[in-house]
Amino acid sequence: MKKSDIKQLPQYFDYYINLSEDIELEEAFNKSLNQIDNVDIAQLKRIGLKVYEEGKWSVHKIIQHLIDWERIWCYRTMLFARQEGTVPAGHDQELMGQNSNADELSIEQLIAELKAVRMATKAMFASYNQQILEINCKFYNYEMSVLAMGFNIIGHQLHHFNIIKERYLPLVN
């Protein structure tokens, strides 16, 4: 199914979803994996732990955030896809960022983990048929389909990779 097959774009998360092209979900996951594969590790190493503004996360913490966030969203998606009934609690990304040890990890390790998580996410979504992808998920003040959750995960990566490109790469150029 394509992004345009999403019947209702969820408020707030529509920003992430709209960053994705209107392509099949599997193709969108393949493109996201290609984006991870094409990360310029040397350039990220030159950035190191620099931040563009006081109080902002390092690139290491951004990558860790992508990993953590995707795992959380996969858990949410699985609960809804399997119609388990639990409405998962929210998470505090700032608290998680503060308590991560991402700045102690190599950028290679973080990118490898991000790729592994993305490959697992792609496999999970590939196991869902159209009926599952159309299941409507309600949590907090949000409502979206399983399909929308997949494009949300992809768009979240696009958003943060754009932030790295626009705000962090100029720190070394």
For residues 50 and 170, the answer to whether their CB atoms sit within 8 Å is no
Task: Classify 61 as helix, strand or coil.
Answer: helix
Residue 128 pLDDT: 98
Q: pLDDT confidence of 54, banded at 50, 70, 90?
A: very high
Total structural domains within the chain: 1
Residue 14 pLDDT: 92
- For residue 164, pLDDT over 80 is answered with yes
CATH number of domain containing 126: 1.20.120.450
Residue 3 pLDDT: 96
Report the distance separating Cα 11 and Cα 59, nearest Å.
Answer: 27
Residue 143 pLDDT: 87
Residue 121 pLDDT: 98
Q: 150 — phi, psi (to 5°)? A: -65, -45
> By residue range, what is the domain housing residue 64?
3-171
- For residue 126, pLDDT over 80 is answered with yes
pTM over 0.75: yes
Residue 155 pLDDT: 97
- For residue 140, pLDDT over 80 is answered with no
Average pLDDT of 130-145?
89
Q: What is the per-residue pLDDT across 78-93, written as a single tens digit (0 to 9) for each?
A: 999 999 877 777 777 8
Burial (Cβ within 10 Å: 0-12, 13-18, ≥19) of residue 137? buried
Q: What amino acid is encoded at 153 in this protein?
A: I
Report the distance separating Cα 50 and Cα 117, nearest Å.
Answer: 25
